[in-house]
Chains A and B, each alone.
Chain A
Amino acid sequence: MSLERFTSLLEAARRGDEAAWQELYSGLAPVVLGYLRANSAPDPEDVLSEVFLQVARDIARFHGEEPGFRSWVFTIAHHRLIDARRHSARRPVDLSAEPLEPMVRADDAAEEALARIGVEEVHRVLASLSDDQRAVLLLRVIGDLSIEDVAKAVGKRPGAVKALQRRGLAAIRRELGRTGVTL
Chain B
Amino acid sequence: MNEVALFMSALRAALPAQPDPELGAILVPRLAQTARTATIEAETRRTRRFASTTVGARRRPRSRLGLAARVGITVALIPLVLAALAFAGVTLPPPARSAFESVGVNLPNQPAQSDETSTSEGTAQPAEPRRSAAGSKGDSVAAHRHALEERAKARGEAVGHTLDNAIGLNEARPPGQSSDAGPPPNSNAGGSPQGQAHRLQAAPEHAVPIPGGQAPGLIK
Residue interface bits B1-22, CB-to-A below 8 A is 1, else 0: 1111011111111111111100
Given A57-B34, A183-B6, A33 contacting B17 (CB threshold 8 A): yes
The reply on A82 being an interface residue by CB < 8 A is no
Q: Hey, which chain A residues are within 8 Å of B9, CB to CB?
A: 106, 109-110, 112-114
Interchain CB contact (< 8 A) of A21 among B13, B19, B32? B32
Tell me if B17 and A172 are in contact (CB < 8 A): no
- A52-B27, A173-B4 are known; give 20 further A-B pairs, CB within 8 A: A14-B35, A18-B28, A33-B17, A37-B17, A45-B23, A48-B19, A49-B23, A56-B35, A56-B38, A103-B16, A104-B18, A109-B9, A110-B9, A113-B7, A113-B13, A138-B11, A142-B12, A142-B15, A172-B7, A182-B2
The reply on A152 being an interface residue by CB < 8 A is no
What is the number of residues of chain B that contact chain A, defined by CB distance less than 8 Å? 35
Interchain CB contact (< 8 A) of A18 among B2, B18, B29? B29
Interchain CB contact (< 8 A) of B36 among A16, A35, A110? A16
CB distance from A25 to the nearest CB of B (A): 6
Tell me if A30 and B16 are in contact (CB < 8 A): yes
User: Number of contact residues on A: which range applies?
Assistant: 35 or more
- The residue of chain A having its C-beta at the shortest distance from the C-beta of B20 within the complex is A45
Identify 26 residue pairs between A and B in the complex whose beta-carbon atoms are under 8 Å apart, listed by A's number.
Answer: A14-B39, A16-B39, A17-B32, A18-B32, A33-B16, A34-B15, A37-B15, A49-B23, A49-B27, A52-B31, A57-B38, A58-B38, A59-B38, A60-B39, A60-B42, A100-B15, A101-B18, A103-B18, A109-B9, A110-B12, A113-B10, A114-B10, A117-B10, A169-B4, A182-B2, A183-B2
